[in-house]
Each structure stands twice: as structure tokens, then as C-alpha cells.
């Protein structure tokens, strides 16, 4: 290996090791927490930490942008010295980070997290969105679920979307506690960005909003007849890095549920199985660009 090739290999390794995915997941979790608190504060005069979360989200957004800029600069430099064709790790792995299970954290035997208090609230909103009543029986309870549980929920929802079974979709969403359901808001954005890029054949841009809207709106509305149209518009704008429409804060469950259904719709448009959302699954092959 020549000195130039060795330099290129080191630069690619540095680029691949930048924590872009982790920062993106942290940014989306802060954003979903802000949305939840924005909804809660509608009935409270106390800002309850929303400004602080907003500042943290802004810092995370700047960090993610700086990491992407660094990766782009490394790629441009490698191209300038004639090493752009050298093999490297697959690009855009952010979507895998949110789907990976978190590390195990052991707690003392005598310390137990408090039970969840959001079950009825989650089920009522899921019923309004899907039009499907919750099944009889006890509500899901327990401690907040891990990312592994949320990733499995996303795969189940995508399976229901692919089959077009609204009843199955409602059952899957009713079957989890609110923590697992709301976590969909943090897990889905990198996945949606990747799927949209695969469908379009390039990184989603602001001028792709209309194409994605045309590709997804009909199917999403048929499965979520109670979802406000502005929620899907906001999700598509974020995927395309376009200005987000202004409006009243949406119900936090709306964003989580709609994002998971949109994920299933884009998977179906790509002809992919929900199992490809497993972070250990082989990298999906990008097909030629299509007219969304």
C-alpha cells in the first residue's frame, strides 16, 4: 500500500467513526421530548423545561450538521486526490443507531421504576387516529420499554401497513405501553430519511416534498383516518430538510404513529420486507431512481 492509499484509508476510517448516527438519535429524542412537553404545557402556565430542551436540541442539530460537513469534506478531499473509488463503509448508517438495543443497565434489587401512567392516554389517541377500538382487557403496563421493543413495534407496524390491515395496525399500537409508542418519534426520522433517499434515488431535498407527498398521502390517510394532515406534512418536510409548516403543537402520539405508518408505506413502495429494519440485517440494495 502506498503512502497516499494509507492516508486515504485512515481518513475513511476517521469519517466512518464519527458519531453521526448517535448524535442524530440524541437530537430526535430531544425533539420528541420537546413535542411532548409542548403538548403538556398547553394546560400549564409553567414552561416546564421546554426552553432548556429547545436549546439542547439546537446544540444537537449544530453538532449533527458539523459532523456531516466533516464527512463531506473528507469525501471531497479523497475525490480530489483520486481515492474516491476506493472501498469504504456503506454511507448513511444513522438509521441503524436508533434501532439498536441500548446497553443493559442493572439496578439494585430494591429499586424499581414507577409504573407507567400514560396507558389510557395512549390508547385513546390511537383509537382516534386509527378508528380501531382497543381490545378488551387490561392496559399494557410496566416500565418504559427499550429501543429494542420500539424497533420491533416499528417492524410490526410496517407489516400491518404492507398488508393494508388497519385492524392489525390498531391492535399492534394498542398492545404497547405509551413509552414504547412515543419512542417511535425518535427512532423513525433517520429511517425515513434513508428510505426516502432510496425511493428518490438521491438525498431528499426541499423540492422533493411534492413527490413524497404524492407517494405517501393516500395510503397514510386510509390507515390513519383520524390523523391531522399537518402531521404528515411536517414529517415529510423534515425528511426533505425543508421548512416545517407553522401551526399549533400536534399531539405527541400523532407524530409517533404517523411516522411509523409512513415508514411502512415507503418500505412497501420500495418492495422491501419489514425485516430490513433490523439493524443487523444486510444493507439494502438501492434500486434505480423511480418516479415516486
User: In b/e form, how buried is each residue of 227-238, taking b as 16+ CB within 10 angstroms?
Assistant: bbeebbbbbbbb
Whether residue 233 contacts residue 245, with contact meaning beta carbons closer than 8 Å, is answered with yes
Closest by CA to 122, choosing from 168, 172, 182, is: 182
Whether residue 21 contacts residue 91, with contact meaning beta carbons closer than 8 Å, is answered with no
Closest by CA to 31, choosing from 229, 190, 216, 260, is: 190
pLDDT given at position 243: 87
* 190 vs 180: CA distance, rounded Å: 17
Whether residue 240 contacts residue 212, with contact meaning beta carbons closer than 8 Å, is answered with yes
Q: Which residues of the chain have pLDDT under 70?
A: 1, 16, 21, 25, 29, 32, 34-54, 57, 61, 84-94, 98, 101-119, 137-148, 247-249, 285-292
The C-alpha cell that represents 27 in the structure block: 437530537
Its pTM stands at 0.73
pLDDT given at position 132: 92
Closest by CA to 124, choosing from 249, 36, 253, is: 253
The C-alpha cell that represents 230 in the structure block: 399537518
pLDDT given at position 192: 92
pLDDT given at position 30: 72
Number of Cβ atoms within 10 Å of the Cβ of 135? 10
pLDDT given at position 69: 80
Task: Determine whether 131 is exposed, middle or buried from the number of CB atoms within 10 Å of its CB (0-12, 13-18, 19+).
Answer: middle
CB neighbour list of residue 17: distance below 8 Å, 6 or more residues apart: none
The C-alpha cell that represents 222 in the structure block: 386510509
* 159 vs 259: CA distance, rounded Å: 14
pLDDT given at position 170: 93
Residue 136's Cβ-side half-sphere holds a number of Cα atoms within 13 Å equal to: 0
Amino acid at each position: 500500500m502506498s503512502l497516499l492509499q494509507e492516508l486515504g484509508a485512515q481518513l475513511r476510517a476517521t469519517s466512518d467513526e464519527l458519531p453521526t448516527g448517535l448524535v442524530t438519535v440524541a437530537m430526535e429524542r430531544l425533539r420528541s421530548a420537546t413535542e411532548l412537553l409542548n403538548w403538556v404545557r398547553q394546560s400549564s402556565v409553567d414552561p416546564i423545561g421546554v426552553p432548556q430542551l429547545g436549546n439542547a436540541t439546537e446544540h444537537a442539530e449544530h453538532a449533527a450538521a458539523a459532523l456531516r460537513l466533516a464527512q463531506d469534506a473528507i469525501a471531497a478531499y479523497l475525490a480530489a486526490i483520486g481515492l474516491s473509488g476506493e472501498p469504504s463503509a456503506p454511507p448513511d448508517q444513522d438509521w441503524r443507531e436508533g434501532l439498536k438495543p441500548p446497553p443493559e443497565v442493572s439496578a439494585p434489587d430494591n429499586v424499581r421504576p414507577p409504573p407507567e401512567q400514560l396507558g389510557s392516554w395512549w390508547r385513546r389517541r390511537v383509537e382516534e387516529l386509527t378508528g380501531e377500538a382497543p381490545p378488551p382487557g387490561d392496559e399494557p403496563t410496566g416500565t418504559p420499554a427499550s429501543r429494542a421493543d420500539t424497533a420491533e413495534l416499528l417492524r410490526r407496524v410496517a407489516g400491518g401497513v404492507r398488508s393494508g390491515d388497519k385492524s392489525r395496525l390498531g391492535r399492534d399500537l394498542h398492545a404497547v405501553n405509551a413509552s414504547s409508542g412515543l419512542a417511535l418519534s425518535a427512532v423513525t426520522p433517520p429511517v425515513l430519511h434513508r428510505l426516502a433517499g432510496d425511493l428518490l434515488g438521491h438525498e431528499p431535498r426541499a423540492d422533493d416534498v411534492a413527490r413524497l407527498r404524492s407517494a405517501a398521502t393516500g395510503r397514510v390517510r386510509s390507515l390513519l383516518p383520524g390523523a391531522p394532515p399537518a402531521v404528515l406534512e411536517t414529517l415529510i418536510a423534515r425528511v426533505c430538510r425543508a421548512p416545517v409548516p407553522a401551526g399549533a403543537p400536534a399531539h405527541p402520539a400523532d407524530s409517533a404513529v404517523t411516522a411509523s405508518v409512513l415508514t411502512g408505506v415507503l418500505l412497501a413502495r420500495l418492495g422491501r420486507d419489514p425485516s430490513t429494519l433490523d439493524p443487523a440485517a444486510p444493507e439494502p440494495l438501492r434500486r434505480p431512481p423511480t418516479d415516486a
